[in-house]
Structure 1
């Protein structure tokens, strides 16, 4: 792998990691479901004109829009509103051991002692995060982030069943169906929409643009290019940088503190995820937004 492509992959990880900081900024001004609904409206508007409707896979895309587009992101951003960005960036990595566990249950993919060890370490790391004083008062919302990660693992199985679709086309058409679900959910479960929209400034609207353009379009275009150019085993270990950049974003953009327990929990979680990712890199391969 040449130096330019290494830099591009690290750039993608930085973009995805910084999304936790931008997401928290946006949540300061807009409710969780509303901001995600608007994100998908913009994503659909930017991508759908370039890709025809994949009619043969339409049913699976609609189902994915509910699992990933609505349930995952509703849980994820509701949790993120009340949990530190750095904590969320680490905790969301639990989706990798969840994916490995589901692969073992539904596809007879042998776990082996190494991946079992990785799963145990990852879960122990999250337990340490839960014991961090600032997180203890928001355990319910940390639970939302963990549930979102489990839902993402389920969605990963759905994505494996959707074949012969450009990842950007998948993201675009999933956004078409996810946006109205999120906006309707916001209408039913959230309030103060008009006031929030009227008062939203550069943080709220900037977060929407960042998530749609930088995370989805730029990030996934570069990511899929690297996956096509290099072996998965060579590319996937770089995903371990995303939570590191997420923690840095929390500190630099939001002024979050790094306690010893949070650092220890992060290290244990990432080591556990690393064991799984390096042993079975396909378990961690994202084809749709993770955050």
Structure 2
């Protein structure tokens, strides 16, 4: 994995951290499932007219639309309406070790003692970091863990599916998940029109940012990186997300950084560095 790819991965994670803060503010004005519908509708409108897919891609795109759009983002947005953004950012990172371990089973990618220790260190950091904010109740906790699992499975599906341009993958999977999320929004949130009419600046800015910056730009780059590099080389970067989210929380929302947050941050960064260092000999 070259230096340009590494910096791109860091930039992607920074975009995701910003998304969590904005969505946390936005779900106070717009229900989470409806916000997800608006987000993916905008993504599809921006991308689908300029991309093409083959018939062989459709089953894979339907699977990605479910694991990524409906499970990962739909449940994450719901959890953000029930839990603190710092806690959510921490717990959803469980998807990274899930994806790395699944990659070892499915793709037979070597784990190695040092990388295993690094992943264990990052998981320990996640749990230490989670002690700082108010820990969520059962429902938001279950939503966050399920969201993390959806993200992990999506990374493996993208690696298994026939080659497809990153923008086409982003746009068409967004299109296919819109009806899934729309049905969920109607069932759980009712008539969308009053919510849309009442939504303010925070709600709509979260929709636009999460669609244009997070989905079109950041996830397009992420899928491109996955196509070029082993899953275990890319996934650990996502564990910087809670660190960046906490930093944005301090700058934007005025949150504090208690000792447990600092300890968890150090563990996560140490684990990521161990995993990345283990990759260097193979990449040379």
User: Shorter-normalised TM-score: what interval?
Assistant: 0.7 to 0.9
Residue 268 to residue 83, structure 1, CA distance change in 2 (3 Å): farther
1:41: how far off? 0.4
Partner SS, residue 16 of structure 2: helix
Residue 278 to residue 75, structure 1, CA distance change in 2 (3 Å): farther
1:278: how far off? 4.5
Check the 8 A contact 2:29/2:199 in 1, yes or no: yes
Q: Which moved more, 1:256-265 or 1:221-230?
A: 221-230
1:139-189 Cα deviation digits (max 9, x unpaired): 542342232112211111111122321111001000111011011111112
Q: How many correspondences in the alignment?
A: 280
Check the 8 A contact 1:87/1:262 in 2, yes or no: no
Q: Cα RMSD (Å) of the superposition?
A: 3.3
Query: What residue in structure 1 maps to residue 86 of structure 2?
Result: 86
Residue 259 to residue 207, structure 1, CA distance change in 2 (3 Å): same
1:259: how far off? 2.1
The question of 1:67 aligning with 2:67 is answered: yes
| Structure-2 separation of matches of 1:239 and 1:191 | 34
Structure 2: unaligned runs, 5 residues or longer = none
The question of 1:154 aligning with 2:153 is answered: yes
Query: What residue in structure 1 maps to residue 210 of structure 2?
Result: 211
1:14: how far off? 2.8
| Structure-1 separation of matches of 2:120 and 2:11 | 30
Check the 8 A contact 2:26/2:204 in 1, yes or no: yes
| Structure-2 separation of matches of 1:156 and 1:8 | 17
Q: TM-score, normalised by structure 2?
A: 0.83
Residue 54 to residue 279, structure 1, CA distance change in 2 (3 Å): farther
Residue 81 to residue 266, structure 1, CA distance change in 2 (3 Å): farther
Query: What residue in structure 2 maps to residue 131 of structure 1?
Result: 131
Structure 1: unaligned runs, 5 residues or longer = 282-291
1:123: how far off? 2.4
Partner SS, residue 134 of structure 2: helix
1:46-97 Cα deviation digits (max 9, x unpaired): 0000012332211111111111111111221222222222332233332221
Residue 59 to residue 231, structure 1, CA distance change in 2 (3 Å): closer
Q: Which moved more, 1:170-179 or 1:8-17?
A: 8-17
| Structure-2 separation of matches of 1:240 and 1:24 | 19
Check the 8 A contact 1:79/1:144 in 2, yes or no: yes
The within-5 A match list for 1:184-203 is: 184-191=183-190, 193-203=192-202
